[in-house]
Structures are given as C-alpha cells and as structure tokens.
Amino acid sequence: MSRKESIKKLRDQLIRRRDALHRALEGDLSLLRELHQERTGDILDAAADTVQDELNSQLIEAESRELTAINDAIARFDNGCYGNCEGCEKPIPLTRLRAIPYATDCIDCRRKAERMTTKGGAVMWNRVFDNVEADPV
Ligand SMILES: [Zn+2]
C-alpha cells in the first residue's frame, strides 16, 4: 500500500474516532447532568458525587483534547499538509502516524521539544502518546 493510500485510510480512522468521541462526550455530559439532579444533600453522597464529577470531568477533558487534536488533523488533510512534521517539515513515518494518527511532528522533533519543555500538563499528555508508541510492534 502506498503512503497516499495509507494516509487516506488514516483519515477514515480519524473521522470514525471523532464521531465516537462526539458520542462519548455527549453521553458523559448527560451523565453529569443526571448526577447533579439526583443529589440528595446527604454529605456522603455529595462527597461521592464530587469524586465522580471529578473523574467525569477529567475524562471529558482528555476526550475533548483528543477531539481537538483529531479535528486539527482532519483540517490538515484538507490543507494537504497532513503527515508532514511541523518541526522539520519532513514526512512523518507511517508507523508513527498509525500509532498516533494526529501526530504533528516526527519523533526527533518531539524528543527535542520534550527536552526543551519543562514538566507540565502538555508534556505529560505527550508522554502518554509516546508510551503508546513505545509498545513493541
Ligand atoms: Zn521533525
């Protein structure tokens, strides 16, 4: 399969993933609303609700961030620059794109960026992706 064909396949995958995330986010949000409505005022229940809300909001945040990344990637397809590194402008290897279809940089540029960035939410988020990619093939 040519790179062009592989990338076309990745676009389909991204669109399916985006639709699934949309549905998940809608589900999570309605669940959150239900939790708020069911509050009884009991302190233990309220504490449990807070923990649950916290978990839900973290999940929603992670899903929202992925959704943003996917939408950006789909926009890059439309611009014709999908699959090229934003750092060095070289084509991102297909193995990396298959692991992270919304990757915007190659591994070299990602590592360079990580070395320069101090520890923070964004870096931790990128680490999650790199761990996925580090799995043996
Ligand atoms: Zn690069």
Check residue 99 and give its pLDDT.
92
Residue keyed to tokens 């959150």: 32
Q: Provide the greatest CA pair distance for the chain.
A: 61
Same domain, 78 and 109: no
**Residues 21, 70 within the same domain:** yes
Task: Report how many domains make up the chain.
Answer: 2
- Is the distance from CB of 15 to CB of 74 less than 8 angstroms? yes
What does the alpha-carbon distance between residue 43 and residue 50 come to, in Å, rounded to a whole number?
10
The reply to whether 52 and 93 lie within a common domain is: no
- Nearest in space to 73 (alpha carbons), one of 10, 121, 4: 10
Are 74 and 14 in contact by the 8 Å Cβ rule? The answer is yes
Question: How far, in Å, from the CA of 39 to the mean position of ligand 1?
Answer: 50
CA distances from 126 to 16, 62, 97 (A): 22, 12, 14
User: What is the Å distance from ligand 1's center to 36 Cα?
Assistant: 46
Q: Are residues 3 and 46 in the same domain?
A: yes
CA-to-CA distance for 131 and 135, rounded, in angstroms? 7
Q: How far does the centroid of ligand 1 lie from the alpha carbon of residue 21, in Å? A: 28
Q: Are residues 58 and 89 in the same domain?
A: no
| 111 CA from centroid of ligand 1 (Å) | 9
User: In one letter, which amino acid is 58?
Assistant: Q
Q: What is the pLDDT of residue 127?
A: 45
pLDDT tens-place values along the chain, 137 residues long: 899 999 999 999 999 999 888 888 887 666 656 666 665 556 666 677 777 788 778 888 888 899 999 999 999 999 999 999 999 999 999 999 999 999 999 999 999 988 887 554 444 444 444 444 445 54
Calculate how far, in angstroms, residue 114's C-alpha sits from the geometric centre of ligand 1. Answer: 13
Ligand 1 centroid to Cα of residue 130, in Å, is 15
